[in-house]
Amino acid sequence: MIINWFPGHMAKARRLIEDNLKVIDVVIELVDARIPLSSTNPMIAKLIGQKPSIVVLNKSDLADPECLKEWMAWYKQQGRLVIAMDSKGGKGVKQLTALAQQLAKPKLDHWKARGLKTRSVRTMILGIPNVGKSTLINKLSHRNVAKTADKPGETKGKQWVRIGNQLDLLDTPGVLWPKLEDQVSAYRLAATGAISDTVFDMETVMTQLITELSRWYPQALMTRYKLTELSDDPLVTIDMIGHKRGCIVAGGVVDLEKTYKLILKEFREGKIGPISLDRVAEMTEGAI
């Protein structure tokens, strides 16, 4: 199965980013803390070049705490400025504002030394779809100025948002790369909601998800669905979950489509537990 999703508005978004970067002081790059590598668009690094930037591991409340620590350390080893954040709950928001001002200070001081008028720090928020950009903007501005949704592709154009007297934020649509060569990353993007549910095969994605949950989080999976054991066959495990949750059609057969959607929804909402799919060890093993 090849998952490949690049709606037309994303190509326009790339051009929009390129056109506006010259007036930006600091770039804020959001990634999903559960899949930091899979949710990093390699296009973004090329676009921002040497411009000051901050990596935000968003939805950190949904990620495995130990894996999150490892990813924080890994980014720092790469020389990146990184923070963990829960934009919905507000954790890390004040730290982000302070870091953006810190990074922009040399440029603004240079302006001031030349006798130019002091202005706000201009930041651009970049990231793939559904990593929480609009939620973060609303939290920073203390009002609903950006449309939020639990599905990708909701932000279609750009908008500037004033944050007090210190920050101006440029929101941009989420950008995925044109071809998702790595299908492991593609499945993880689908599982976390970065790719529209209408463009991938649900059975394939759910089989992969249950395989990884059974490997890394067996107890959490059994506890959530009141199972005494897990099968080596992910489809059997899914069938057991369907029976436990009453996803049954005529003849006592499990409604697989309903079961897939149930598990996927609970995984995305963190009800199975704090879970990470990307792991730092994969960087050296070459799995991604």
Are residues 109 and 61 part of one domain? Answer: yes
Are residues 92 and 40 part of one domain? Answer: yes
Are residues 151 and 39 part of one domain? Answer: yes
Tens digits of residue pLDDT in 232-279: 999 999 999 999 999 999 888 999 999 999 999 999 999 999 999 999
Burial grade of 232 (CB within 10 A; 0-12, 13-18, 19 or more): exposed
**Highest-confidence range of 2-6, 119-123, 282-286, by mean pLDDT?**
119-123
Q: Percent of the chain having pLDDT more than 70?
A: 84
**Where residue 236 sits, what CATH number does that domain have?**
1.10.1580.10
Answer whether residue 211 shows pLDDT above 90: yes
Are residues 235 and 159 part of one domain? Answer: no
Report yes or no on 232 lying in a domain: yes
Answer whether residue 27 shows pLDDT above 90: yes
Report yes or no on 195 lying in a domain: no
**Where residue 97 sits, what CATH number does that domain have?**
3.40.50.300
- Residue 173 is predicted with a pLDDT of 66
- The residue-averaged pLDDT of 131-141 equals 84
Q: What residues make up the domain containing 17?
A: 8-171
Distance from C-alpha of 44 to C-alpha of 87, rounded to nearest angstrom: 21
Contact between residue 266 and residue 204 where contact means Cβ atoms under 8 Å apart: no
Rg (CA), the chain: 20
Model confidence, pTM:
0.87
Are residues 85 and 34 part of one domain? Answer: yes
